[in-house]
Structure 1
């Protein structure tokens, strides 16, 4: 007959010691602090949540804006990559017709004031428009007034962060000044300060971050807002990305879906660092990658890899960028890829010419219907990392029943290759600035919400 009550378990001395060790390990693991991460939703310019949203805009309207802002951004990247350009000047990211691609929502000060900031991997300083402003631009969120915040402090000139305006960096009160002159003529200027920023975190809900260095812009000439300013994600010590750690990541889903809610930015050493990695090189505060080749139909195309390399004078090379929608290839690479795509299209779709973009490869048809089964184009990077471009990343609608290849030819005089946002769709892109690596993980961004 089975016993009604089990006999007590008797531990040997050896088992008892092992049991105690396991208890200690469990307690230690529970007290280890995980790396902090700060997550915020990214709002695409054409999203229904964006202040730029125009529900009546046509496909052609969107395409022309994308072309215009991408070309302006390419001009900026080309100028900034030049070895003689050492400051943070940029080419009209949000100046003319508002070239913002993604906007992040933060709150600043105490009490918190909500702000919308354009994210930019091509610049460093986080700055917002502040009261009083000599020249103010229109913005969707309230203008921040530092005099009404209990946590605002101006930055003194002896601070290691006071490096933005080295020629004229101090006001009469020894406060640190900053100024940016953009390549399109836009000027923003003001004082550097520290302030509390409130961000949503992936693990704690809402979290304040104290003493963030930022620019309070009081004199803004030519800046045509909606966002309150710029959130720079560059590599310098003034960047928010480096102030919160050495890592950040962003996940981009479908940018043509105005209701897609899962684009996100994660800052801090708890950022999502997964997938295959490739070396990252910083030059003139831009992020360069080693692009080794391009594949189509699982075949590496015959492109001279020197086309993708930066020259000793600083021209050329391959930049990954958050502010460019389209991607660009130097002529030698673009010609080869374009020829291969035309071979696959031959006899299937009618080729059309677009006077606005004479070098573009365009066809009549619908991407979702006429390109079913079209092979991915793969960007092959050093150490085996890859970006796969499906039809939504490789082609862009250009009008009713018309589309063009979204990898365009860099114009004459600019040999830069640029990996733009369309090529980064459906990936989590992670930057480890301490290890000098970028990681590519193909993923549904919704899976990162947890």
Structure 2
């Protein structure tokens, strides 16, 4: 999300020098399960602060086999966010923190006491003065001067100062430091470099901060690569599901691949080296290949930095070059009309292809398949591209959940990724997609 435009949509109701963090009580993989939002955020009419605290506390006792590490991850739907969240402990004694999982950025940061400017968060505020393992990083440290894009220095303390600004205008600034991250089953990652944010604002409402899992030196997977390797995977569960349980997950380390996993080459953009790029080669709608656009707009051009597709957990809605989006939208509209779907004349926010469905009406929804280089395909379930939106007349409409991009930055968002097992394998330079990945 760091370098990406703001795509967080409240209407949907819905994250040099090498160094590494040390880990103790180390399993072979670091496994972060995804729990349903009601496990942490019960429906509003039954929720109160005491119940939130008790439910959050109970999540830290999640158990599994000795070679896995679990910590809750949930959908941001109940507090109008299009993101997914993990719960980790920070410091010693640890403070429980709800953090955005973001493959589009690197820095791990949390709101810190004392706060000069902080937004409301649901978990307790992290106070580094209460942590025996908190250490500020000096201005002269390679972690400050060699890694931060915009390093600063606190003249009074000699400590490194960071500042990060996201594409949607959200921002955080404070001291760069190290502390431990704590996961269930008493597994700790020590000496993790993170930002202690005293001035924060933007669209991070409710979260304590951000867990950056990009490709840069400051990202969490890079910092624990000596222990788990440079590979992680996740499955982001159905954001609209009312089920009480979920088998969704976030895992750091190599795990057995699902037989259905299809891999596409991982590309590197010299102008945005921290992002996970892949090449798309086209789309199919209703089993027919979409034509009428330039495939070059979907392929990465390393010379200009344009094109390619960023796989991003911190962006909700996918966006594609305008000519490609228009071609897909028009093909979908044509097939939808043939299947009895009635397109409405007006738009809803960023969506310009929306449909009204009557009760007990039977329609045929056109299928959509995304084609990636190397033969990897994502056949999207309808829930991954038809977004429910409530209109001003209080009726529910369904919109084609894609956007046009005019800045050369194409994104595969988490709405389209939901339900797929996604493997980020930097070691083997590939990204994999497995349908029904949350069921395993």
Question: TM-score per shorter chain, which class?
Answer: 0.7 to 0.9
> Which residue of 288, 291, 295 corresponds with 2:277?
288
- Selected match of 2:163 from 157, 179, 183: 179
- Out of 347, 351, 362, the residue aligned to residue 343 of structure 2 is 351
Instruction: Identify which range, 179-188 or 392-401, moves more after superposition.
Output: 179-188
Structure 1 partner of 2:313: 322
* SS of residue matched to 1:332: helix
Please state how far the C-alpha of 1:278 moved relative to its aligned partner: 0.8
After superposition, what is the alpha-carbon deviation per residue over 1:290-337, rounded to whole angstroms, capped at 9, x for unaligned?
101112333322243112123433233322111222222222112222
Aligned partner of 2:101 among 119, 127, 130: 119
Q: Which residue pairs with 2:51 in the alignment?
A: none
Q: Which has the larger radius of gyration?
A: 1
CA RMSD of aligned residues (A): 3.0
Please name the residue that 1:36 is paired with: 28
Q: 2 CA distance for matches of 1:119 and 1:392?
A: 22
Residue of structure 2 equivalent to 1:90: none
Matched, 1:237 2:217: yes
Residue 354 (structure 1) shift? 2.5
More displaced stretch, 360-369 vs 142-151: 360-369
Question: How has the CA–CA distance of structure 1 residues 263 and 118 changed in structure 2, closer, same or farther, with 3 Å as cutoff?
Answer: farther
Task: Measure how far apart 1:272 and its partner are.
Answer: 5.8
- Selected match of 1:128 from 110, 123, 148: 110
Are the structure 2 counterparts of residues 151 and 428 from structure 1 closer, same or farther at C-alpha, using a change threshold of 3 Å? same
Is the aligned partner of 1:198 residue 2:187? no
- Specify which of 424, 428, 437 is matched with residue 435 of structure 1: 428
CA deviations on 1:275-298 (whole Å, 9 max, x unpaired) are: 121111233122211101112333
Shift in Å, 1:379: 0.7
Contact 1:51 1:226 in 2 (8 A): no
- Give the 3-state SS of the residue equivalent to 1:48 in structure 2: helix
TM-score, normalised relative to structure 1: 0.73
CA distance in 1, matches of 2:325, 2:108: 35
1:176 alignment partner, SS class: strand
- Cα distance, 1:428 vs structure 2: 0.7
Matched position secondary structure for 2:276 = strand
In 2, Cα distance between the equivalents of 1:314 and 1:219? 32
Do the aligned partners of 1:121 and 1:233 also contact (CA within 8 Å) in 2?
yes
Alpha-carbon distance between aligned partners in 1 of 2:350 and 2:377, rounded to the nearest angstrom? 29
Deviations 1:66-96 (CA, angstroms, capped at 9, x unpaired): xxxxxxxxxxxxxxxxxxxxxxxxxxxx9xx
CA distance, structure 1, for counterparts of residue 152 and residue 231 of structure 2: 32
- 8 Å Cα contact 1:272/1:430 also seen in 2: no
User: Judging changes above 3 Å, is the alpha-carbon distance between structure 1 residues 258 and 241 closer, same or farther for their aligned structure 2 residues?
Assistant: farther
Render the CA deviation track for 1:74-133: whole Å, top value 9, x for unaligned. Answer: xxxxxxxxxxxxxxxxxxxx9xx9745111100111111100001111111000111122
2: CA distance, partners of 1:115 / 1:329? 34
> How far did 1:195 drift?
1.2
Deviation at 1:429, TM superposition (A): 0.6
Which structure 1 residue ranges, 5 or more long, are not aligned?
1-32, 57-93
Report the alpha carbon displacement of residue 234 of structure 1 after superposing the two structures with TM.
1.0
Partners of 2:27 and 2:42 in 1: CA distance: 35
Contact 2:315 2:414 in 1 (8 A): yes
Alignment of structure 1 residues 69-80 onto 2, 5 Å: none
Report the counterpart of residue 384 of structure 1 in structure 2.
375
| Cα displacement (A) at 1:267 | 4.0
Match of 1:110 among 68, 92, 106: 92
**Counterpart position of 1:305:** 295
Give unpaired runs (5+ residues) of structure 2.
1-24, 47-75
Counterparts of 1:187-266 in structure 2 under 5 Å?
187-200=171-184, 205-221=185-201, 225-245=205-225, 246-259=230-243, 261-262=245-246, 264-266=248-250
For residues 122 and 356 of structure 1, the distance between their equivalents in structure 2, rounded to whole angstroms, comes to: 26
After superposition, where does 1:40-189 map in structure 2 within 5 Å?
Answer: 40-42=32-34, 47-49=37-39, 99=81, 101-162=83-144, 163-164=147-148, 166-169=150-153, 171-183=155-167, 185-189=169-173
